[in-house]
Amino acid sequence: MTPELLAALEGAKAAKRPVALLTRLTDGAQHLWPDEVVPAPLADAAERALREDAAANVTLEGEAWFVHPHNPPLRIIIIGAVHIAQALVPMAQAAGYAVTVVDPRRAWATAERFPGITLIHEWTDDAVAALAPDSRSAVVTLTHDPKLDDPGLDAALKSDCFYIGALGSRRTHAKRVARLQEMGHSAEAIARIHAPVGLNIEAVTAPEIALSILAEVVATRRGAALARRPALAA
């Protein structure tokens, strides 16, 4: 790999731009897609590898190519700059997620409590809408306060984020479901919300709850059976 190509890969990463590295395994010749024009079969494979976030092998004119997708990081948007969020942030970063914390309560969302993290002090619906969660984003509400959590969930349900989780007991969630239905969300849409948030590992402490949340996000992302829950009784 040339230093120029390495710099281009690093540049794409910094710009959060998806690129695929194409390597001819016979001699190491390399191209970056879509920055460079490549034969259609390679371009198609690159597009698919990025979409599926999975590397691929392609044979072109009898020669083997390796198609290596470099997608921008997965994101976790955390609503609520609470104690559990403080535990979740470093775990999520270690797992490769870009983390944003949203909380209009400036006493909670401080640089002292969340060093080096993007903090947003807007109201939660505006903040989530502005962050525009996509299919590589997860949204987790942790404030335990309906006037902060509900608008964030409302905005998350309008996005195609791959995971939505909400802290709170089953009873709290039943009330939340009723409120979200009043806001116009269907039962099917609301069923996207994982609540109570996190895999059931009998978590007690803030780091344990954070672990259960991150585990559920990963399980959902990877399509694990653990991530599927029976529907809650209405």
Partner 1 sequence: MSDSEDVLATAANWRAAGETVALATVVETWGSSPRPAGSRLAVSASGKLAGSVSGGCIEGAVADAAKQTMASGAPQLLDFGISDERAWEVGLACGGKLKVFVEKLS
Residue 221 Cβ, how far from partner 1 at the closest point, in Å?
Answer: 12
Please tell me the distance from the alpha carbon of residue 9 to that of residue 5, in angstroms, as a whole number: 6
Q: Under DSSP, is residue 69 helix (H, G, I), strand (E, B) or coil?
A: strand
CB-nearer residue toward partner 1: 5 or 227: 5
In this structure, what token pair is assigned to residue 205?
């402490």
Residue 58 Cβ, how far from partner 1 at the closest point, in Å?
Answer: 11
CA angle 57, 62, 65 (to 5 degrees): 25
Residue 28 Cβ, how far from partner 1 at the closest point, in Å?
Answer: 4
CB-nearer residue toward partner 1: 9 or 206: 9
CB-nearer residue toward partner 1: 46 or 190: 46
Is the torsion defined by CA of 220, 222, 226, 228 positive or negative? positive
Residue 127 Cβ, how far from partner 1 at the closest point, in Å?
Answer: 22
Who's near 77: CB < 8 A, 6+ residues apart? 100, 102, 128, 131, 133, 137, 138, 139, 140, 156, 161
Q: Catalog residues that contact partner 1 under the rule CB under 8 A.
A: 1-3, 6-7, 9-10, 13, 23, 25, 27-28, 54-57, 66, 68-71, 73, 96, 98
CB-nearer residue toward partner 1: 15 or 234: 15
